[in-house]
Structure 1
Amino acid sequence: MSISQKITQLTELKKETLAVLYGGNSAERDVSLKSGKAIAQGLEQAGFNVRLIDTKDMPLTTLVSQNIKHVFIALHGRGGEDGCLQGALESLDISYTGSNVLGSALSMDKVRSKQIFKACDIPTAAFSVVTKAEFCELDVEQQLNALGGKVMVKPAHEGSSIGMAMADSPAKLHNALVEAFGFDGDVLVEAWIDGPEYTVAILGDEALPAIHMETPREFYDYEAKYQSTSTQYHCPCGLSEKEEAYIKALSLKAFKATGASGWGRVDLMQDSEGHWQLLEVNTVPGMTQTSLVPKAAKVQGLTFSELVERIVLLSIS
């Protein structure tokens, strides 16, 4: 479809009802509520007829009875970002923003993402996987030593740094795994990366300006992302033009490797030796007025309403 055809279809879409699905039941519900409200406001400013729908207690078949044919997904985490919602919407013949079923599922799964990165020769930190069934027989000291003596523990299917913890002793690793198993049956144990963290927003086939996140906390955790006033965001990110071009290309490669499409965000870090390490691909990243993707879009010259309209345009096939 040509750009002019997409714009014509976008004009027609503005005459219909566009639902913003937000809230839901995941551990990221609070963030999703904020994202959904901001997206709805931005879409209204762009001329869309918007209906905000909290999916927490709503059967998706309600969308059909309300004659809704297109939705903007603002659900973070399980049930909204992992392919389940995408599959349900496809079965109902309702179009949606962002990645398809496969791209959503693979990107959400931190373990499979890491395996894909390795298979595609995309640099990523050494890791192991611990399941709840294996935990009772796990030699945590051996596990820790095999990954350099300091690790990051991550539930395999959560976002927003939920359930994540640093461990640099067998006791800490044991406790971090117990905590992570409260969120997931599969846990990623990743070698600690000692260095700055960056993120690259993706719009279609374009990588937006990189952002460098800086926090006085031990790592960029949930509090640093959503509660702290001391977290700093640098965009421009301070890298040389050549280095930023490299991480943009690397982020696009990772984004495509997991099958992600439309829009999203890729997180990565630079280790103490200057090597880049991919962390993860986010297919429905935070979208409040102060979230990372809108920050990068602003530097690119896009207002928030222009950004959300662009995301809708990208979803029209």
Structure 2
Amino acid sequence: MKIAVLYGGVSKEREVSISSSKGIMEALKQNGHDVIGIDFHPNQLDEIINLQVDIVFIGLHGKFGEDGSIQGLLDMLNIPYVGSGVMASALAMDKFKAKQLFQTENIPVAKGNKYRMTKQTNIEAIIDDIHAHFTVPFVIKPNREGSTLGLTIVTEQAQTKAAIEKAIKSDEFILVEQFIKGKELTVPVMGKINEEQALPIIEIIPKNDLYDYESKYAAGGSEHIIPARINEELTEKIKQYAITAHQVLGCETYSRADFLLSDDGIPYILEVNTLPGMTPTSLFPDSAKKAKISYAEMIEHFIQLTVR
């Protein structure tokens, strides 16, 4: 097939997207497809409008890639693409909305609240409200952002204002959540609609105190333990939570759900990634490898699921 891979983009995750897409394009070529790469920019939409391909593989991350925007454009052009559609992409990107849906399925979520920050917002009133409802430590992060960009763990109230100012550089909506101490876990999900399966759960041990951008994408930034060191009953529960989260958002083909397993054994879902990273250090390919699925086989499986 003739396949276009969209990469780059204009979000803060541009470099991650380029790295992911390089691997995707190499795998597609290895599988015998005719591949073209497009460094996507919203000011050059004619490249998308005039596309003559069988299918698009979206290798973008963040704004305009993961939020439903490019999916909407491709839908209007009647161009098939790999992965989730407009609604699921937008919902998953909106962490607060996604959490509300997870709660309807009895998936544990951290206590949290969303605040809109505009030029007219009284930031001191927001700070007072946060302090009235959350005790330190708590987390402040952009509501619609990935790769822990703009995130702060507030350990004393004096840090709140700076944490808000950091978060609103990425999004006018901020999310404040209780801080949960525990194991970082992630669960890749893939398969036909309503027949999805979870791949082996990964336990993540970051080299830094926080599983931040550097820990995720720098070589040696984190250690991946596959399968995670948890009992079989908990493993199956978390896998089912990941599949249910994928389905309740309306995701398609593949996704990856991130969890924090608290010290008292409660797996809190953090978010679902509809376009998880596919870089050499990424989690999804690592889990697939443990399930005896090579990188190239994994990419081809996504293509075939989409075609079917």
Please say if residues 141 and 169 of structure 1, whose CA atoms lie closer than 8 Å, have aligned partners that are also in contact: no
Give the aligned CA root-mean-square deviation in angstroms.
1.6
**Partner residue, 1:272:** 263
Q: Secondary structure at the match of 1:196?
A: strand
- 1:181 equivalent in structure 2: 168
How many percent of aligned residue pairs carry the same amino acid?
36
Equivalent of residue 238 in structure 1, options 225, 229, 233? 229
Task: Provide the aligned length of Structure 1 versus Structure 2.
Answer: 302
Deviation at 1:217, TM superposition (A): 2.2
- TM-score w.r.t. the length of structure 1 is 0.91
- In structure 1, list runs of 5 or more residues that go unmatched: 1-13
**Partner of residue 90, structure 2:** 105
CA offset at residue 216 of structure 1? Answer: 3.9
User: Partner of 2:141 in structure 1?
Assistant: 154
Moved more, 295-304 or 169-178: 169-178
Q: 1:164 aligns with which of 151, 162, 167?
A: 151
Contact 1:195 1:269 in 2 (8 A): yes
CA contact 1:144–1:150 (8 Å) conserved in 2: no
The amino acid across from 1:286 in the alignment is G
Distance 1:145 1:91, change over 3 A: same
Q: Any idea what the Cα deviations from partners look like across 1:153-211, whole Å, max 9, x if unmatched?
A: 11011101111111022221211111101111000011001001100001120100000
Name the residue aligned to 2:108: 123
Q: Following the alignment from structure 2 to structure 1, what is the Cα–Cα distance between the partners of residues 124 and 12?
A: 29
Match of 1:32 in 2: 17
2:26 aligns with: 41
Shift of 1:120: 2.6
Deviation at 1:69, TM superposition (A): 3.4
1:139–1:25 Cα change, 3 Å: closer
Matched, 1:311 2:296: no
TM-aligned CA distance change 1:144 to 1:271, over 3 Å: farther
The one-letter amino acid of 2:50's match is S
Task: Find the aligned partners of 1:139 and 1:286 in 2 and give their Cα distance.
Answer: 34
Deviation at 1:33, TM superposition (A): 0.5
Q: Secondary structure at the match of 2:44?
A: coil
2:136–2:157 Cα contact (<8 Å) kept: no
Could you tell me which amino acid in structure 2 is paired with residue 305 of structure 1?
A
Higher mean C-alpha displacement, 110-119 vs 227-236: 227-236
CA contact (8 A) 2:84 2:274 kept: yes
The answer to which of 133-142 and 189-198 deviates more is 133-142
Secondary structure class of the residue paired with 1:138 = helix
Structural mapping, 1:166-315, within 5 Å: 166-204=153-191, 205-227=196-218, 229-315=220-306
Quick check: 1:152–1:189 contact (8 Å CA) kept in 2?
Answer: yes
Match for residue 69 of structure 1?
54
Is the 1:144–1:151 contact (alpha carbons within 8 Å) kept by the matching residues of 2?
Answer: no
Question: Does the 8 Å CA contact 2:5/2:59 hold for their aligned counterparts?
Answer: yes
